[in-house]
């Protein structure tokens, strides 16, 4: 059964559930991070991405790629985070155009303060509702979605 758009009701249901679940879950995570560490979700994600990178430093474009965001968004965010002394910009040795972002002790401290409660919250609002089998299916599908879109649309 499909309508004039070629999409079945069951498919629309999935699409809506995807959008709505993200909005609701993202909201809960934001509240928890703000409460426990005074960090926005994007700030936490940025710090974590940098700390988990091999050299503990990432360029603007690499952060954008990791998070699926636009470069200008990351650039503004880093600016605000730098004002708050959560990260610092450092010149890149290889390429004078590039900038490497590192996490300051203050940024690391805040991330540490949040990580336990954050993990618990991610579990509570999302992971607790996914069985191991379901997890495998979902990871496979979402990775496929990400990979098909590639790295286009940067700004």
Q: Which residues of the chain form contacts with DNA (CB under 7 A)?
A: 27, 30-31, 34, 40, 42, 59-62, 69-80, 89, 92, 95-100, 155
**Which C-beta is closer to DNA: that of 89 or that of 129?**
89
**Which C-beta is closer to a second copy: that of 92 or that of 112?**
112
Q: How far is CA 102 from CA 54, 86, 87, 94, 105, in A?
A: 12, 9, 6, 16, 10
- By CB under 8 A, name the binding residues for a second copy: 4-7, 10-11, 13-15, 17-28, 31, 45, 66-70, 115-116, 118-120, 122-123, 125-130, 134-135, 137-146, 148-149, 153
Buried b vs exposed e over 99-125: b needs ≥16 C-beta within 10 Å? bbbbbbeebbebbeebeeebeebeeeb
Please tell me the distance from the alpha carbon of residue 69 to that of residue 65, in angstroms, as a whole number.
7
Residue 127's binding partner out of DNA, a second copy, none, with CB under 5 to 8 Å set by partner kind? a second copy
């Amino acid at each position: 059964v499909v309508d004039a758009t070629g999409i079945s009701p069951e498919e629309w249901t999935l699409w809506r559930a995807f959008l709505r679940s993200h909005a609701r879950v993202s909201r809960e995570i934001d509240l928890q991070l703000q409460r426990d560490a005074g960090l926005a979700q994007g700030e936490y994600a940025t710090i974590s991405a940098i700390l988990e990178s091999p050299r503990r430093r990432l360029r603007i474009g690499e952060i954008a790629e990791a998070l699926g965001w636009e470069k200008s968004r990351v650039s503004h965010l880093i600016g605000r985070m730098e004002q708050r002394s959560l990260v610092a910009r450092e010149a890149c040795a290889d390429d004078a155009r590039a900038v490497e972002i590192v996490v300051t002790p203050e940024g690391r401290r805040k991330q540490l303060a949040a990580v336990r409660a954050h993990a618990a919250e991610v579990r509570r609002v999302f992971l607790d509702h996914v069985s191991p089998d379901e997890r495998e299916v979902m990871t496979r599908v979402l990775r496929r979605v990400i990979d098909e879109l590639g790295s286009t649309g940067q700004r």
